[in-house]
Every structure is written in structure tokens, then in C-alpha cells.
Amino acid sequence: MDAKIENILEIWHKHFNDEENQYSEFEPSDIEYFVGCMLYNHFAFSKALDNLKTIDLSYDFLSSCGDEYEHIKEMIAEIKFDTEEESLKFLQEYINEAQQKYTQAELYLLNRLAYHVGAMAERYAKNVDVQRIDFENPLLRK
């Protein structure tokens, strides 16, 4: 795993190791998930779905992650690649390595992120532009 990312994970795992810093339903894999979301948002993929151009970090995580957040945000901003495809590969490798650290029961959030990033990777591989998705409430249909 990238040394900068390992450092980021170490900072937050140390922070959240103190139970007083944990929020309800905290799982250690949340840290990897939210770092993945921060990377995803930082890379600003053009082939992301319109409704998923960014992924919101949860209020519970943001309110519990401590003063380290601004420093970590700056560290992530320093990660740069020449192309979106290189950024995508970096993110996919990060997610894959993060998934190896946890049991299946602990991977819900990381698996969701992996699924979304994998679907986006297919659009890059096939050079397919984003298709607009219209969500419609079936109760409002006439």
C-alpha cells in the first residue's frame, strides 16, 4: 500500500483506538471506507454517475475523526496522477488491499465503494460516457 495512505490509516486507527473517539456502530473498516471516499472525491472522476460525483462522509465519522481531519485532507490533496485512469487504478488497488484486512462481515461499506468504483472502471475500460439515471418514485407515477 502507498506509504502516504498507510500513514493516514495509522493516524486514524490510532485515534479511533481510543473508545472515547468512537461513534455508535463504529467498525475499524469504516476508516478505510472513509479514506476511500476522500480519495474518490479528491480524484473527481469524469465518468462518475451524476448523483455520485462525490460521496458524502457521514456526520458521525466527521464529528469523531478529530483534529487530524484537516491534516489528512491535505495529505490526500497531495496525491496526484497524470490521468483519471491512473487515479482509478490507485483507488481500486487501495480498496482491494483494504478489503484484505477485514472479514466479510466487516466489509459492508468497503464492498459498496468497491462495487461503485468497479462499475465506473467498466465505463473507463469501454470508454463509455456516463448515462443519466433518473430515479422515479413509483408512488408518484400516474
pLDDT of the residue at 72: 95
Higher pLDDT, 134 or 86: 86
pLDDT of the residue at 49: 83
pLDDT digits (tens, 9 = 90+) for 29-57: 999 999 999 999 999 999 888 878 888 88
CA distances from 113 to 24, 92, 107, 126, 137 (A): 21, 10, 10, 20, 24
**What ranges do the domains of the chain cover?**
3-128
Helices (H), the chain: 3-17, 29-43, 59-64, 68-77, 84-99, 108-125
Q: How confident is the model at residue 11 (pLDDT cuts 50, 70, 90)?
A: very high
pLDDT digits (tens, 9 = 90+) for 54-70: 888 899 999 998 888 99
C-alpha to C-alpha distance for 9 and 15, rounded to whole angstroms: 10
Q: Is the pTM of this model over 0.75?
A: yes
